[in-house]
């Protein structure tokens, strides 16, 4: 099966029903997406397929129809993505386990809405769980990223 991850085409020999998360981590060595719950409830495994945030733990490899972007491919080798920079500015991470999924969810959301309200941010981002409870910092980082996107 062929799959494009972070702009690189790969050929993998896996079962059709293998979750994308396992293809990324076990077959391709892309470890940014994390295993959290395995049932698409926590968001630690969030990646983009053609720019849309998806839970890679529940997406079958055979059902991937588009380019996959992980946290490793979000920015460029020379610069961070606007969301990544905002995360650092607001010191969002504590343990950091959920942060790649949080950032991927925020980036996809802001591609669709670059002027969100606090309620919209909370609604979208509450689907990604943070055991450290950094939700106020997540909201502020998303607001900063949105402001920076609008002025870019």
Which tens digit of pLDDT belongs to each residue from 71-90? 999 999 899 999 999 999 99
User: What confidence tens digit (pLDDT) does each residue in 89-131 have?
Assistant: 999 999 999 999 999 999 999 999 999 999 999 999 999 999 9
For the full predicted model, state whether its pTM sits above 0.85. yes
Give the CATH superfamily of 2-72: Beta-grasp domain (3.10.20.30)
**Residue 151 pLDDT > 90:** yes
Confirm if 128 and 98 have CB atoms less than 8 A apart. Answer: yes
- CA contacts within 13 A on the Cβ side of 65: 1
Question: What's the chain's average pLDDT?
Answer: 96
**Residue 132 pLDDT > 90:** yes
Domains 2-72 and 82-151 are alike in CATH topology = no
Pick the CATH number of 82-151 from 2.40.50.140, 3.40.50.740, 1.10.150.120, 3.40.50.150: 1.10.150.120
Hey, where are the domains in the chain? 2-72, 82-151
* 141 φ, ψ (degrees, to nearest 5): -65, -40
Question: What's residue 77's pLDDT?
Answer: 87
Question: What's residue 152's pLDDT?
Answer: 85
């Amino acid at each position: 099966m062929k799959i494009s991850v972070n702009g690189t085409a790969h050929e993998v020999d896996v079962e059709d029903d293998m979750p994308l998360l396992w293809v990324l981590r076990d077959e391709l060595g892309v470890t940014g997406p994390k295993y959290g719950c395995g049932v698409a409830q926590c968001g630690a495994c969030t990646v983009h397929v053609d720019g849309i945030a998806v839970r890679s733990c529940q997406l079958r490899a055979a059902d991937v129809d588009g380019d996959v972007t992980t946290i490793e491919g979000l920015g460029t080798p020379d610069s961070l993505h606007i969301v990544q920079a905002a995360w650092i500015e607001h010191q969002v991470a504590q343990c950091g386990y959920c942060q790649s999924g949080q950032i991927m969810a925020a980036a996809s959301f802001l591609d669709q809405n670059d002027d969100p309200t606090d309620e919209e941010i909370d609604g979208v981002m509450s689907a990604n769980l943070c055991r450290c409870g950094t939700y106020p910092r997540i909201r502020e980082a998303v607001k900063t990223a949105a402001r920076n996107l609008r002025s870019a």
